[in-house]
């Protein structure tokens, strides 16, 4: 498993907040300093600092490998596996999603910088040697999940562009001949007013192939940032065609560790396993913990509705 590790600088002065960043020229961690009493600075979100609509992060993230023999008890490597390197990653790297295609692991991830949030791609055969393939979706775009096989000779991916003019965060689909160049962009699903996914939606897990269609677990949030998980069922041969969608969440914050933490009321997943009809789901809880759950795939499929999307 690749886990995102977010680190925050520690200060004794309660009136000061530091925003870390990587200096691309030498790889050193530097800091921007902000005073909590400055009226021009917005500290309302524990994850982000805004100054005149310019975004800074209160932490900086990298990836580490976690290893397990049973899928439940994990041991995290002592050192980072993938660390921010260039200008596009100056505020850190987040949300890795791993797709295995023909013996190669392709890892999409969010690269955060003063230029915005774009999606980059890394490939590896062994999780020892990694090759950076660069940005595949320009800012602002994230939540990219690549389907695990070609469909009619093309690769497909879900992505989540953020529209500044429409202020929308919807899921789109694109295809590619080589996993690098993506086009034929088309809208897939949007937010739904008054529902659990009224604020934003985005892909979570790499889609699973079932006899009913491609099963995609996605995340949705309300306008006040309560994050839940739902599901989409997509046509096997024409994945832009929707067969069903969750009317209600398949998982929502219920436990204390899901409701309270660094950023509460959040269930957010980037990976899972499908084994013997059971979806073994790994997810972030309140941006503070990694948790595990098991869901029956048949229960998910039977809960989907054909309209409402």
- What is the pLDDT confidence band of residue 206, given thresholds at 50, 70 and 90? very high
CB 140 within 8 A of CB 165: no
Q: What is the CATH number of domain 187-309?
A: 2.115.10.20
φ, ψ dihedrals at 236, nearest 5°: -65, -40
pLDDT at position 57, please?
93
- What is the pLDDT confidence band of residue 307, given thresholds at 50, 70 and 90? low
Measured CA angle at 191 (ends 174, 41), to 5 deg = 100
Is the pLDDT at 73 greater than 60? The verdict is: yes
What are the extents of the domains in the chain? 187-309
φ, ψ dihedrals at 257, nearest 5°: -70, -15
Residues 107-150 have pLDDT tens digits of 999 999 999 999 999 999 999 999 999 999 999 999 999 999 99
pLDDT at position 168, please?
87
pLDDT at position 45, please?
87
> Which residue is listed with tokens 């393939």?
133
Task: Tell me the percentage of the chain whose pLDDT exceeds 90.
Answer: 88
Tokens of 131: 């090759």
């Amino acid at each position: 498993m690749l886990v995102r590790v977010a680190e925050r600088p520690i200060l004794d002065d309660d009136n000061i907040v530091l925003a870390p960043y990587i200096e691309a020229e030498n790889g050193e961690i530097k800091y921007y300093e902000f005073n909590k009493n400055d009226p021009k600075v917005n500290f309302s979100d524990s994850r982000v600092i805004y100054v005149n609509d310019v975004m800074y992060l209160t932490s900086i993230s990298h990836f580490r490998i976690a290893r397990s023999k049973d899928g439940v008890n994990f041991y995290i490597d002592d050192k980072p596996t993938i660390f921010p390197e260039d200008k596009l990653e100056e505020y850190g790297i987040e949300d890795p999603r791993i797709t295995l295609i023909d013996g190669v692991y392709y890892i999409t991830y969010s690269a955060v910088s003063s230029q915005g949030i774009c999606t980059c791609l890394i490939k590896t055969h062994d999780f020892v040697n990694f090759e950076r393939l660069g940005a595949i979706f320009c800012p602002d775009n994230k939540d990219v999940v690549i389907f695990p096989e070609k469909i009619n000779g093309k690769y497909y991916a879900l992505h989540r562009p953020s529209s500044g003019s429409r202020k929308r965060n919807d899921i789109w689909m694109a295809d590619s001949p080589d996993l690098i160049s993506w086009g034929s962009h088309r809208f897939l699903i949007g937010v739904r007013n008054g529902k659990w996914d009224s604020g934003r939606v985005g892909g979570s897990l790499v889609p699973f192939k079932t006899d009913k269609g491609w099963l995609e677990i996605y995340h949705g949030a309300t306008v006040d940032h309560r994050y839940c998980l739902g599901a989409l069922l997509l046509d096997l041969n024409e994945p832009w065609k929707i067969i069903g969608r969750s009317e209600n969440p398949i998982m929502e914050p219920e436990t204390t560790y899901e409701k309270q933490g660094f950023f509460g009321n959040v269930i957010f997943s980037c990976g899972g396993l499908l084994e013997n009809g059971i979806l073994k789901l790994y997810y972030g809880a309140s941006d503070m913990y990694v948790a595990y759950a098991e869901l029956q795939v048949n229960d998910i499929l039977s809960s989907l509705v054909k309209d409402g999307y």
